[in-house]
Amino acid sequence: MYFTSTSCMLNVAGGIADCGASAGCVSSINKIRISSYLQKSSSGSWVTLKHWTQDTRSNSASFRKTYAVTSGSYRHLCYIYAYIGEACMDGVTKTAYDSY
């Protein structure tokens, strides 16, 4: 087990989607990649509005972005990966939901 904590956050209010994610890992991990997608529900499927990727060369990382949105139902899909060097050792998927 390489992750000690992971989270994915979404808060949609006032026409702004506030998207965040964080991760903590054991000390042997030296890079964390967070790849996230802000998606809107449309006709029974999820449409990607924005994609972000952040690499942090540490065993802890946090990520926060905002994006202007209209009314609707949204999710923030977060893929979080832990690396030793360039080798991916572990990965988790987290999802947060909100509507406006």
Compute the distance between CA of residue 8 and CA of residue 45 in angstroms, rounded to an integer: 20
Q: How many distinct structural domains can be found in the chain?
A: 1
Q: Which CATH number is 28's domain given?
A: 2.60.40.10
- Please give the chain's pLDDT, 100 residues, in tens: 899 999 999 999 999 999 999 999 999 999 999 999 999 999 999 999 999 999 999 999 999 999 999 999 999 999 999 999 999 999 999 999 999 8
Predicted pLDDT at 1: 87
Would you say the pTM of this structure is higher than 0.85?
A: yes
Domain that holds residue 43: 3-99
